[in-house]
A and B are shown apart, each in its own frame.
Chain A
Amino acid sequence: MSDYRIKGETGEWEVVIGLEVHAQVTSNAKLFSGAATAFGAEPNTQVSLVDAAMPGMLPVPNRECIRQAVRTGMAIEAQINKYSRFDRKNYFYADLPQGYQISQLYHPIVGEGSLTIEADEKAGLPEAKRIGVERIHVEQDAGKLMHDQHPSMSYVDLNRSGVALMEIVSRPDMRSPAEAGAYVRKLRSILRYVGSCDGNMEEGSMRADVNVSVRKPGDEFGTRTETKNVNSVRFVMAVIEGEAKRQVELIESGGTVVQETRLYDPDRNETRSMRSKEDAHDYRYFPDPDLLPLILDDDFLAECRTSLPELPDAKRARYLAAGISPYNADVLTAEVEAALWFDTLLEAGAKPAPAANWVTSELFGALNRMGRDLSDSPVSPAEAAELLGLVADGTISGTIAKAVFEKMLESGDAAGVIVERDGLKQTSDTGAIEAEIAKILTANADKVEQYKGGKEALFGFFVGQTMKAMQGKANPQVVNELLKKTLG
């Protein structure tokens, strides 16, 4: 249970949060037309006759968009509705050419499902929690108005008009900004694993409507407000924090929360009222007569299911079972690219636990320094596997491995080549090591005395000196054993 509470004058308040996430479906074509969907194209260059709602134009469902919604539903273990239907949501706006949005109100394609957010003490999540998903439906996006093109007129860009969105509606199961943030991150991760949405929040591929209400713990739900189109995890959390506080202050000062739609202003970090329930639209939903009900057959569903990749939870469990630490498992599974890279590394023969440590510290550190990410990593999984293999079979030490990795980054050469060329193989030649030990003990007779007198911490000093004398190439195991034997 979340212990997140707003401390008001009348006591503690609990926050209740539900999210409606709009995720743009990854598809080459729009939901009901063949027009392209690339981001950032010149205005009105990706508009078909259907998207512009020319007279007599008709929508035809794009199979790929339907498929992606079904796969997404399967990924959150949701009920897939073999019968679903499209409805028209009627309203007038200049960015909505048809005068209605084709959506699914009465019979959505995906029903009840859920996802799990992991415990994360540092983030304020003491334990893992299941968050219910009420439904996923598919609908059309609208176009975009541009108000900065002309002094007295607004321009319309219809590139987005008709692009497929999934609306993923959560249950009001979240109780803190941290839970909501974790939910969005987890959902984004799943969508990206499935490949049904690129999850790019800056480009608007994913945005959330944030429903917030407050109550005294144990009370009935309070009246909620809905803040529209919030486009980052940080903003989602900020909206919840601010809105919950505003509601508590409002109630405690004798006011009442009104059901309304609000807008978030990131510059001022505050929400403001857009319209209240009283002047809410009557959308006059009714089944779209241009479209037949969507009936999914078993073959289609089977194909959707078999096309699903291993999902974050399953992957995480597999990593944990392979001895990878929970922290590393979380880091490695969060982004699908990292997980796939890491899986390739494992397939190339790397041992899971040391490989996970190396990726999350050495590789990510290096990428961070270089301002690159895994997609343009200078080191391939096969090359990394070779490096890790040299450590695993005792050819080089972990310390030397770091140096070798740096040289790999500088030269692009393979680890084995570098080790060979620079003579970095560690030695287990006891004769050579014993010779150096003898020299060191002679040169540090006083410390030998102290050690023998009980100052055992000096053992590390002897190890260090020996390793230094061996230029780091001595097998630390062997050095330890020989030192113990010589020092008695």
Chain B
Amino acid sequence: MTELTNLTVAQIRDGHRAGEFSAVEVAEAFNANVAGAKALNAFIVETPDHAIAAAKTADADRAAGTLKPLSGVPIGMKDLFATSGVQTTAASHMLEGFVPRYESTVSAKLWDAGCGMLGKLNLDQFAMGSSNETSYFGNVISPWKRKDGGNAALAPGGSSGGSSSAIAARLCPAATGTDTGGSIRQPAAFTGISGIKPTYGRCSRWGIVAFASSLDQAGPMARDVRDCAIMLENMAGFDPKDATSLNMAVPNWEAALSSDLKGKTVGIPKEYRLEGIDPDIDAMWDAGIAMLKDAGAEVVEISLPHTKYALPAYYIIAPAEASSNLARYDGVRYGLRDLPEKAGLQDMYAATRADGFGPEVKRRIMIGTYVLSAGFYDAYYTQAQKVRTLIARDFEAAFGVCDVILAPTAPSAAFGLGEKTADPLSMYLNDVFAVPASLAGLPAMSVPAALNREGLPLGLQIIGKAFDEQGVLNAGLAIEERAGFNARAEKWW
């Protein structure tokens, strides 16, 4: 029998529907993989019972002829999504032990679609990080190793590092992620999987612990493009509880998947050609261009002139919003409360926040507080918002001449744990290709395209027009089919 944990979401769904295996068998197989992968530290909480219960329902539904779109598919849930009755921490000490009595809209939709939950996935604390090294619950380890004779532990990317590591290691066929400035795409690229951040507003933010509200967007991570389409269909949709939610019908992305790009034009942004970048990245990009041409697309060079301002603008806007969004974690109503002897309210705030937030979270709260302060607001926040508008205009102009944009997802392959932690700026630079699409609210995905000379996966990014997830998925599919990426990490854990 095929190893069930090697199956994709579509294969599980279809195989279960066809009676090739039971959902309980699938859940048990993945539960076993999860239980056997403690070394990766991908999960903060494991919920095997949840997965089994959903699987039993799926099997019963199959018998009754009432199958749902994702019946029998167990998934991982990033621990940024509130899950009713299951601890939700955002990988922080602040929310350690916090068990919500409500379910995020996105997770609720997935459960309604028949999914089961294998567990809550580790992440960078409050989704702030690019390597999953800021989690209070420890680093997530990538299943990948460099083929350099060494044994360095590599970063799975971040902030959705638990999701990427778990999928790459076959602990779950798919998982939820959230992307504020690359947190779905970069970890996907680092671990040789696919992930899509849809247009801002496609997925409800209700019940997702907020990092930067104007940028946060949920999306799926999975092994291939089809699975991303299937998952996204079951995560997206208008939600009256989120005022920024898009009131648009959810297209049938899976059904419209097509790798035939005849008549499509692909833009190659010249500003993304960075001086001194890893030649493997450039080579992969060139190979990607050739693949899209092969799929029938025309390729044109485009210019996104304000690209170099995107990263600084992002690291003003996102921390500004975060500094305010995280103000609610004050020890008064839930989560951690640190109440020193004879402490007053201010002392309690100080002690709770000092203890409850990790260094990266504190850094961003301080940056955000600073850029919003009287006297600095215009120089930083207002200026950053102007840059954001210009970046959105860059894309608008570019989409006048092309349908999708192709670029690398990240400027490097996965780096080693600890390699960048001493220098936050070098860490932030890892988001350089991911951040512009976030600022513009555009759909963007990463698909695995090649291995570098060290045997590590590299990802290509496709950025699309607002609401054109289909165009992004189709271009992704064209690359997937031609890249033939089937490498996987050798099991060492």
Contacts and interface: CB of A to CB of B under 8 A. Distances in A.
A56 interface: yes
A222 to B, nearest CB: 24
B82 A156 contact: no
Given A92-B327, A92-B349, A289-B214, A61 B88 contact: no
A289 B241 contact: no
Contacts of A154: 345
A93 B346 CA distance: 9
Interface residues of A, number: 30
B243 A56 contact: no
Contacts of A97: 328, 332-333
Nearest to A280: B374
A282 B241 contact: no
User: Binding site of B, secondary structure by majority: helix, strand, loop or mixed?
Assistant: loop
B296 interface: no
Given A55-B100, A92-B330, A286 B372 contact: yes
Contacts of B374: 282, 284
Given A55-B90, A56-B208, A58-B242, A286 B324 contact: yes
B381 to A, nearest CB: 6
Contact of A292 (B81, B95, B243, B333): B243
Contact of B240 (A55, A56, A60): A60
Contacts of A249: none
A98 B244 contact: no
A290 interface: yes
B349 A289 contact: no
B214 A58 contact: no
Interface in A88-132: 88, 90, 92-94, 97-100
B334 A282 contact: no
A284 B82 contact: no
B16 interface: no
A197 to B, nearest CB: 25
B207 to A, nearest CB: 4
A151 to B, nearest CB: 14
B369 A284 contact: yes
B284 interface: no
B150 to A, nearest CB: 40
Given A99-B328, A282-B373, A282-B374, A55 B98 contact: yes
Contacts, number: 98
B377 interface: yes
Given A58-B243, A98-B328, A284 B373 contact: yes
Interface in A61-75: 61
B212 interface: yes
Given A54-B102, A55-B90, A286-B372, A60 B243 contact: yes
A164 to B, nearest CB: 15
A33 B477 CA distance: 42
A291 interface: yes
B27 to A, nearest CB: 27
A52 B244 CA distance: 20
B321 interface: yes
Given A284-B324, A289-B214, A59 B243 contact: yes
Nearest to A91: B327
A98 B323 CA distance: 12
A58 B100 contact: no
Contact of B372 (A52, A90, A156): A90
B349 A286 contact: no
Contacts of A88: 324
Nearest to B207: A56
A295 interface: no
A392 interface: no
Contact of A57 (B88, B206, B214, B373): B206
Given A60-B241, A61-B243, A282-B373, A55 B205 contact: no
A100 B377 CA distance: 17
B449 to A, nearest CB: 33
B324 A55 contact: no
Contacts of A409: none
Given A99-B324, A284-B324, A56 B373 contact: no
A93 to B, nearest CB: 8
Contacts of B244: 289-292
Contacts of A156: 332-333
B320 interface: yes
Interface in A413-439: none
A286 B383 CA distance: 13
A478 interface: no
A340 interface: no
Contact of B209 (A55, A90, A100): A55
A311 interface: no
B210 interface: yes
Contacts of B258: none
B209 A56 contact: yes
A47 B310 CA distance: 40
Contacts of B81: 56
A94 to B, nearest CB: 5
Interface string A137-173: 0000000000000000010100000000000000000
Given A52-B333, A98-B328, A284 B372 contact: yes
A264 B467 CA distance: 55
B241 to A, nearest CB: 6
B73 to A, nearest CB: 24
A374 interface: no
Interface string B342-363: 0001100100000000000000
- Name the residue in A49, A57, A292 with the highest tally of chain B Cβ atoms < 10 Å from its Cβ: A57
A400 interface: no
Contacts of A483: none
A360 to B, nearest CB: 50
- Name the residue in B95, B98, B332, B374 with the highest tally of chain A Cβ atoms < 10 Å from its Cβ: B332
Nearest to A153: B339
Contacts of A289: 212-214, 244, 321
B213 A56 contact: no
- Name the residue in A52, A61, A90, A286 with the highest tally of chain B Cβ atoms < 10 Å from its Cβ: A286
Interface in B189-248: 205-210, 212-214, 240-244
A201 interface: no
A150 to B, nearest CB: 14
Contacts of A90: 323-324, 327, 372
Given A99-B324, A99-B328, A286 B377 contact: yes
A53 interface: yes
A290 B328 contact: no
Contacts of B332: 94, 97, 156
Contacts of B372: 90, 284-286
Interface in B95-137: 95, 98, 100, 102, 104
Interchain residue pairs A-B with the least CB separation, the first 3: A99-B327, A289-B214, A289-B213
Interface of B: 81-82, 88, 90, 95, 98, 100, 102, 104, 205-210, 212-214, 240-244, 320-321, 323-324, 326-328, 330, 332-334, 345-346, 349, 369, 372-374, 377, 381
Given A58-B242, A291-B243, A291-B244, 15 more contacts: A54-B82, A54-B334, A55-B100, A56-B205, A56-B206, A59-B243, A60-B241, A90-B324, A94-B330, A282-B374, A284-B369, A284-B372, A286-B320, A289-B244, A290-B244
16 contacts: A53-B333, A54-B82, A54-B102, A55-B88, A55-B95, A56-B206, A56-B207, A57-B206, A58-B205, A94-B332, A97-B333, A99-B324, A156-B333, A284-B372, A286-B324, A289-B212
